Amino acid sequence: MQSIILRGIGGFYYALDEAGEVHQVRAQRKLRRDRKPKVGDRVEISPGEGEEDGWILSILPRKNELVRPPVANIDVVVIVAAAAAPLPDLQMVDRLMINARRSHVDVMLVISKCDLDEGFAADILNQYRGASCSPMRVSSKTGEGIEALKAALRGRVCALAGQSGAGKSTLINALYGLDLETGDLSRKIDRGKNTTRSCQLIPVEGGGMVLDTPGFSLLETDVFDPVEIKDSYPEFIPFEGNCFFQPCYHASEPKCAVRDAVEAGTIDPDRHGRYVEILQDMRQRWKERYN
Ligand SMILES: Nc1nc2c(ncn2[C@@H]2O[C@H](COP(=O)(O)OP(=O)(O)OP(=O)(O)O)[C@@H](O)[C@H]2O)c(=O)[nH]1
Ligand SMILES: [Mg+2]
Ligand SMILES: [Zn+2]
């Protein structure tokens, strides 16, 4: 019977079949060894009889998959960053974008809590103006941007990702009238408290699905050849053909058209600055891996 995995907790999975019924199932040993089922996976199951658990027999081919958050078959990753506490880590936002693009998943950037700091929200949106991520601002408190975001996500499978406390679960509640658990920020350090503990896929009106994921406080990019990082920066594309060196890292090479565009203000300097930091970090880790 074909089903989709909504949730996995402590070795159990909850799989929704085509008739709308949810089955508690476990993964067969060979699956656990080869590749673990992920939330969003389409699977073949044999449901259990009565009180018995059923089994996942096989995982159907994946359209795409992400490592962080660990989900499969996603149409779009909605990165949520707050315009107020917790202070957004924009390098983490950039790394999330790189990971998603490398997995061929669309990216959207949503600035949450706009009711708390309009100015900061505008500043962040401006940094991502060329990044092909349809930057949007929302407030789950005032309702600003909620209808527009809902329309943009309609009929798609979307995973919300970002720092703990950014307001992901609150936003899903505002979008779809749900009652997911949300949490305060820790008062001393203005950080989230990791309220959401596991990934959960929720079918919503309009034929789409939304995925709530646990926030993180640290995110590493997968290790890959540093020369490929620039390919996840759409704002570089119009310029990079004119760089003197090919390929060019757009970091410290002379006659770099991308850096010229940064100087001219066409490419955002903060976003480029963080790109160079991520590049240096990746060079280090790439070297460690192959030496
Ligand atoms: N003022 C304001 N507060 C918000 C808004 N959205 C969320 N919050 C608050 O931010 C805090 C964290 O919200 P959550 O939805 O639990 O955050 P989360 O991203 O799901 O966090 P984790 O589950 O830990 O990853 C809560 O106290 C919310 O009430 C908003 O639009 N405006
Ligand atoms: Mg949450
Ligand atoms: Zn260059």
Mutate which of 115, 170, 189, 218 for ligand 1 pocket (most atoms within 8 A of beta carbon): 170
User: Tokens standing for 12?
Assistant: 């159990």
CA-closest residue to ligand 1 atom 4: 113
User: Which is more confident, 290 or 78?
Assistant: 78
Is 170 near ligand 1, meaning CB less than 6 Å away?
Answer: yes
- Taken in order 81, 87, 90, 91, the sign of the CA dihedral is negative
Is 139 near ligand 1, meaning CB less than 6 Å away?
Answer: yes
Domain boundary among 149, 183, 212: 212
Domain harbouring 44, CATH code: 2.40.50.140
Cβ atoms of 22 and 47 closer than 8 Å: no
pLDDT of residue 49: 84
Tell whether 235 and 187 lie within a shared domain.
no
- Taken in order 91, 194, 40, 112, the sign of the CA dihedral is negative
Which burial class, exposed, middle or buried, applies to 1 when counting CB atoms under 10 A from its CB (0-12, 13-18, 19+)?
middle
Q: How far is the CA of 269 from the centre of ligand 3 (A)?
A: 14
What percent of the chain has a predicted confidence (pLDDT) above 90? 81
Domain housing 286: 226-290
Ligand 1 atom having least distance to the Cα of 164: 25
Tell whether 92 and 175 lie within a shared domain.
yes
Tell whether 250 and 206 lie within a shared domain.
no
Q: How far is the CA of 246 from the centre of ligand 3 (A)?
A: 8
pLDDT tens-digit series, residues 193-233? 889 989 999 999 999 999 999 998 776 677 899 999 999 99
pLDDT of residue 34: 72
pTM: 0.94
Mutate which of 182, 194, 197 for ligand 1 pocket (most atoms within 8 A of beta carbon): 182
Tell whether 277 and 197 lie within a shared domain.
no
Tell whether 38 and 163 lie within a shared domain.
no
Tell me what the mean pLDDT of segment 164-189 comes to: 92
Distance in angstroms (rounded) separating the CA atoms of residues 8 and 90: 29
CB atoms within 10 A of CB 143: 11
Q: What DSSP assignment string belongs to 154-183?
A: TTSEEEEE-BTTSSHHHHHHHHHT------
In a 13 Å sphere around the CA of 89, the CA atoms on its Cβ side amount to: 18
Surrounding residues of ion ligand 2, Cβ less than 5 A: 168-169, 195-196
